[in-house]
Structure 1
Amino acid sequence: MKGKVADCGDNLCVEERRLAVIKDSMLDEEIFLDVADTFQVLSEPTRVKIVFVLAEAGELCVHHIATLLNMSPSAVSHQLRLLRNMRLVKTRKEAQHVYYSLSDGHIVQLFRQCLEHIEE
């Protein structure tokens, strides 16, 4: 026997049991905020371009990123700082040079899946 169906105004649409399962699986509010913050950081085209070049190159210094994007190194550094604060990029220091790369494969996967979605 099926569960009781929830009333959506004039329509009976979803079993109450299914709604309860979904409600029980809701994540903590902090996780939703972190996800929203991540998408907000990626809502700026320059930062998306930086993610793209790092996904393609693997690792670059500020100078090379700035050259690729036709921007000043200080403007790129500012954007990288925001990406780093959100743990989307990481750094590696070698002598006096700092190299940037994406934090992990999840960032590349998220970026590529978004591209696939856009290109459909």
Structure 2
Amino acid sequence: MEKPDDDCEVRCVHPETVRKARSKQMSEETVERLSEIFKVMGDPTRLKIINALSAGEMCVCDLANVIGMEHSATSHQLRILKALRLVKYRKQGKSAYYSLDDEHVLTLFKEGWKHVHHE
């Protein structure tokens, strides 16, 4: 079997490189939580919601209108985002207003967007 061009032709371990990489390893809990965040953000509908909320706080009705979904389906997606602290909400009378939970969510979204558009 022929080796691909992008594989090492010589098997060797570089101790300093391995040591540096091991020093940056994450706990299993962190890996799991981060994986869940990326899974949730990997859904196209949820990305549309995050994009819309990057413009500012919105009520569920307006958000549903912007992303072209039914109110109940939008609320369901917002509950998933809220469970992972990607969005937060506040009640005002009978309306619920959603916004991104903090700047980290916007940073994650913007960095992904930049990567997609990077040439």
So what's the TM-score if we normalise by structure 2?
0.86
Residue in structure 2 matched with residue 30 of structure 1 by the alignment? 29
Tell me what 1:55 maps to: 54
After the TM superposition, which parts of structure 1 deviate over 3 Å for at least 4 consecutive aligned residues? none
* Count of matched residue positions in the alignment of Structure 1 and Structure 2: 111
The CA deviation at 1:21 is 3.1
Match of 2:80 among 79, 82, 86: 82
Name the structure with the higher strand share. Answer: 1
Distance 1:22 1:69 in 2: 41
Task: State the SS of the aligned residue for 1:100.
Answer: strand
What value does the CA root-mean-square deviation take over the aligned residues? 1.6
For each residue in 1:25-81, what CA deviation from the matched residue of structure 2 results, as whole angstroms up to 9, or x when unmatched?
A: 31111101111100100111000000000002x100110001111111000000000
What residue in structure 2 maps to residue 100 of structure 1? 98
Q: Percent identity?
A: 36
1:3-38: CA deviations, max 9, x gaps?
Answer: xxxxx7724462x13312321331111101111100
Q: Secondary structure at the match of 1:87?
A: coil
Show structure 1 runs of 5+ residues with no match: 1-7
Give TM-score, length-normalised by structure 1. 0.85
